[in-house]
Every structure is written in C-alpha cells, then in structure tokens.
Amino acid sequence: MTTTTTDKPSFVYVTFIATTAEKLWEALTQGDFTEKYWGGRRVESTWEPGAPIVYRYDEGRKTDITGEVLRCEPPTVLSYTFGVDHGEATEPASRVTFELKPLGPMVRLTLTHDQFVPNSKVLPGVTRGWPGILSNLKTFLETGKPMPFGNWDKATAA
C-alpha cells in the first residue's frame, strides 16, 4: 500500500527570540532544556543524520514522539521525522524542520512541520501543540523560566 503526503507545508510557525543561535540550538537539542519548556519531555539523540530521536516523559518511563534525524547543521538547520506513539498514530511519520537565522540581538526561528498524509489525525494536535511549545521556549530563553504548564490542553485549544 502506498501512502502519499501533501506537497505543501502543513504547518509553519515563525517567532523571534532574544537569544543567540547557539543557545537556541542547545535548547532544541539538549534534554536538560527540552524538559523545561516541552511539558517535561526530554529529547534524546546523537543528532547524526540517520540517528534515532526520542522524546521521553514521566521520568523517562514513557515516550510519545520518535523519529530519525534527517539533517543537522548546528546552529542553523535541524530536521527529523516525527512519529507519534499513541492511539491516533496509525499513520507514517511527518517531518519537522527548524531553521535558525541570527538577526543581531535575536534569532528568527522558523518551524515547518510537513509531509502529513491526507486527512492526518496528527495534524490537528500539531497545530494546537507547536504554538504553546514554541511560546514556552521563547519565554524560557528570554526570562530563564518557563510559563506555568497547568492545563496545556485547554490553553492551546482556546
């Protein structure tokens, strides 16, 4: 059975963060950082192309996002497949690409999440999830503290 993906990006988010590209890169690729702004999820990977990537939570006992590193060019481009490991994940992995562009005292971060199958069940969660995750990342890098996590589902559904 052949599965086709859409030709255009399905989700693009751009934000400007008062930080350096190196610090932002570290926040995207180091588990000690991700668990502070991504709902307790700790990323693990060697970041070599072809290497696995996994997001663990619940003190490392559970995973819900897995993939494979596609491209890693510190501190400008990071791309990996994005497979969701829970009930709705009966579809192939999509693709996440982070592009970092230094602009003086800030960095423009562009997230492109694409290659979803038609009628993806994962896409609605992505469109709710990324704005909150990236807002929390921005707040964390600019203030040193993440936003209160609280009931993230209600906040991102509004």
Instruction: Give the residue extent of every domain in the chain.
Output: 11-157
What average pLDDT score do residues 125-147 get? 94
pLDDT at 37: 93
Residues 6 or more apart whose Cβ sits within 8 Å of residue 10: 94, 113, 114, 115, 116, 120, 123, 126
Question: Which pLDDT score is estimated for 19?
Answer: 99
What is the secondary structure of 53-102 as a DSSP string?
EEEEETTTTEEEEEEEEEEEETTTEEEEEEEE-STT--S--EEEEEEEEE
Rounded Cα–Cα distance for residues 125 and 130 (Å): 8
- For residues 147 and 77, which has the higher predicted lDDT (pLDDT)? 77
Query: What is the Cα gyration radius of the chain?
Result: 15
Question: CA-CA distance, 96 to 82, in Å (whole number)?
Answer: 6
Q: 1-15, 88-102, 108-122, 138-152 — which is least confidently predicted? A: 1-15
| Whether the predicted pLDDT of 60 surpasses 70 | yes
Mean pLDDT score of the chain: 89
* Lookup result for tokens 């963060």: 17
Residue 147: pLDDT band with limits 50, 70, 90 = confident
Q: For strand 77-84 and strand 94-103, is the pairing parallel, antiparallel, or unpaired? A: antiparallel
At 35, the pLDDT band (50, 70, 90 cuts) reads very high
* CATH architecture classification, 11-157: 2-Layer Sandwich (3.30)
Q: What is the mean pLDDT of residues 129-142?
A: 96
Q: What is the mean pLDDT of residues 81-94?
A: 82
Token pair 């040193």 in the structure block, residue: 144
